């Protein structure tokens, strides 16, 4: 009975962290709440559709359709996050500065809001489709009543959402000088974490070789199932037993995005004046 | 020159691929249990694991030791590639029914 809540919490946590970080990163951009809520709504709708189609998706590509779909979703989200971070490295610092000082929403950044919408919708879609399947499956099972499943599922969902909100609230307390670095730093880690998960799906479906599986094992130090392990997995993609390909994807994503951010930061721009 | 070397390299890869042809193993889920609960596989070889879920409810095949995680829908089936594995025991479980759905892959 409690199990339902814990599984729903774990699935929710990852999406909630992503939403919390993105909400913090776009503070002060006009129309942001609409995009946030719209992204969540679109994600939930998509999750239900995907959950209904799971059987058919799974049968595609010789039984690996689900992995390929997850890998594509993650790849797309990585591109969006990279784009968002690179765009914000030019404009974000100024946006955050102005929003806080003037105390009202800043115009501009509509483009990055669209990426926000897409990333949130995809995150909710991916984590949500498994949650929908699981909750539906638990209710169909005879062991626990539907009401019990719904109650503990809602508790898990609420706890996950709360974690995301606390992360967001924590971000808002960060001094302005560090705020931009902190949000873009976490988005960078999120993108790398998603790239690593994408690699996992590509290995699992035998599209790419694993280059060593696992490359190392730190389960004794910090296991994937411990609370700290789950949190670090959601925030920065921690995996106690990563394959070589996961590490390659993680590091490459970090380097490529950082390099692009660095290139644009030093271009002549009004932002460089403060 | 570089092209021919590359071709040679690609050509050399193929016999290896053929030798390491995947062996296929079927795992069934029935009443939230895995059948068989112990899978014997050959070590150092890639294995195509076909998981058939005969239950009406979905299940998630999960194994930290194998570094795999995959949802299998009710009355559905899915393919998971595992290995090549070093000799040893690799536990797995059904995340949605942890109490009953437990199993282990034994590579030897």
What pLDDT sits at residue A11? 87
Q: Does the beta-carbon distance from A205 to B79 stay under 8 Å?
A: yes
Q: Does the beta-carbon distance from A55 to B98 stay under 8 Å?
A: no
Q: Does the beta-carbon distance from A55 to B73 stay under 8 Å?
A: yes
- Over the stretch A18-48, which tens digit does the pLDDT of each residue have? 999 989 888 877 788 898 999 999 999 999 9
Question: Which chain A residue has its CA at the smallest distance from B53's CA?
Answer: A55
Q: Does the beta-carbon distance from B67 to A242 stay under 8 Å?
A: yes
Q: Which residues of chain A have pLDDT under 50?
A: 103-105, 268, 270-274
Instruction: Yes or no: say if A195 and A78 are a contact pair by the CB < 8 Å rule.
Output: yes
Cα–Cα distances (Å) from B59 to B35, B56, B62, in that order, read 14, 10, 9
The complex scores an ipTM of 0.76
- Which segments within A18-154 are labelled E, that is strand? none
Closest residue by Cα to residue A39 from A109, A129, A120:
A120
In degrees and rounded to multiples of 5, residue A100 shows phi and psi of -70, -40
Question: Which chain A residue has its CA at the smallest distance from B79's CA?
Answer: A63
What pLDDT sits at residue A263? 85
Angle at B94 between CA B90 and CA B100, to 5 degrees: 100
User: CB-CB: which of B32, B77, B97 is closest to A63?
Assistant: B77
What DSSP string describes B60-73? EEEETTTTEEEEE-
Q: Which residues of A touch B71 (CB under 8 A)?
A: 54, 66, 130, 133
Mean pLDDT (10-residue bins), chain B, 108 residues:
54 49 87 94 92 91 90 90 92 90 94
Q: Does the beta-carbon distance from A242 to B78 stay under 8 Å?
A: no
Instruction: Yes or no: say if A205 and B81 are a contact pair by the CB < 8 Å rule.
Output: yes
Residues 6+ apart with CB under 8 A from A233: A14, A193, A224, A239
Q: Which residues of B touch A205 (CB under 8 A)?
A: 79, 81
What DSSP string describes B21-42? PPEEEEEEEETTEEESSEEEE-
Closest residue by Cα to residue A127 from B69, B43, B47:
B69
Choose from A58, A142, A233 for mutation: most chain B CBs within 10 A. A58
Beta-sheet pairing, B88-94 with B59-63: antiparallel
Q: Does the beta-carbon distance from B81 to A205 stay under 8 Å?
A: yes
Task: Please check whether residue A220 touches B, CB under 8 A.
Answer: no
What pLDDT sits at residue A112? 75
What pLDDT sits at residue A199? 96
Distance in Å from the first CA to the final CA of chain B: 43
Interface of A with B in 103-142 (CB under 8 A): 130, 133-134, 136-138, 140-141
Q: Does the beta-carbon distance from B64 to A204 stay under 8 Å?
A: no
What pLDDT sits at residue A32? 86
CB pairs below 8 Å between A and B: how many? 79
User: CB-CB: which of A3, A140, A241 is closest to B67?
Assistant: A241
Interface of A with B in 133-192 (CB under 8 A): 133-134, 136-138, 140-141
pTM here is 0.82
Instruction: Yes or no: say if A24 and A170 are a contact pair by the CB < 8 Å rule.
Output: no
Instruction: Yes or no: say if A50 and A129 are a contact pair by the CB < 8 Å rule.
Output: yes
Query: What are the boundaries of each domain within chain A?
Result: 2-272
Q: Which residues of B touch A58 (CB under 8 A)?
A: 72-73, 76-78
- Which segments within A162-226 are labelled E, that is strand? none
Q: Does the beta-carbon distance from B96 to A134 stay under 8 Å?
A: yes
Structure-token pair, residue B27:
């795992």
Q: Which residues of B touch A237 (CB under 8 A)?
A: none
């Amino acid at each position: 009975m409690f199990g339902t809540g814990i599984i729903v919490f774990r699935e929710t946590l990852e999406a909630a962290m992503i939403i919390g970080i993105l909400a913090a990163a776009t503070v002060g951009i006009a129309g942001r709440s609409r995009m946030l809520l719209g992204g969540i709504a679109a994600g939930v709708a998509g999750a239900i559709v995907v959950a209904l189609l799971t059987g058919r998706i799974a049968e595609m590509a010789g039984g690996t359709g689900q992995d390929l779909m997850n890998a594509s979703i993650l790849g797309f989200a990585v591109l969006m996050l990279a784009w968002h971070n690179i765009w914000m490295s030019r404009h974000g610092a100024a946006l955050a500065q102005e929003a806080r000082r003037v105390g009202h929403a800043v115009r501009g950044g509509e483009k990055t809001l669209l990426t926000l919408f897409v990333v949130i919708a995809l995150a909710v879609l991916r984590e949500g489709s498994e949650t929908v399947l699981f909750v539906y499956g638990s209710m169909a099972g005879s062991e626990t009543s539907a009401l019990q499943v719904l109650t503990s599922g809602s508790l898990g969902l609420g706890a996950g959402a709360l974690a995301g909100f606390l992360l967001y609230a924590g971000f808002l307390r960060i001094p302005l000088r560090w705020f931009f670095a902190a949000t873009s730093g976490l988005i960078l880690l999120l993108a790398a974490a998603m790239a690593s998960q994408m690699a996992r799906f590509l290995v699992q479906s035998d599209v790419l070789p694993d280059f060593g599986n696992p490359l190392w094992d730190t389960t004794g130090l910090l296991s994937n199932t411990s609370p700290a392990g789950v949190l670090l997995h959601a925030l920065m993609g921690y995996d106690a037993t990563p394959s070589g390909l996961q590490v390659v994807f993680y590091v490459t994503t970090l380097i490529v995005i950082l390099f692009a951010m660095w290139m644009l930061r030093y271009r002549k721009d009004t932002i460089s004046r403060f | 020159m570089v092209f021919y070397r590359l071709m040679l390299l690609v050509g050399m890869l193929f016999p290896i691929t053929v030798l390491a042809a995947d062996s296929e193993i079927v795992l069934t889920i029935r009443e939230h249990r895995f059948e068989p609960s112990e899978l014997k596989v050959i070590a150092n070889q890639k294995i195509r694991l076909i998981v058939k879920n005969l239950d009406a409810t979905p299940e998630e095949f999960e194994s930290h030791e194998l570094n795999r995680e995959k949802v299998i829908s009710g009355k559905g089936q899915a393919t998971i590639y595992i290995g090549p594995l070093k000799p040893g025991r690799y536990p797995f479980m059904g995340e949605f029914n942890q109490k009953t759905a437990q199993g282990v892959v034994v590579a030897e």
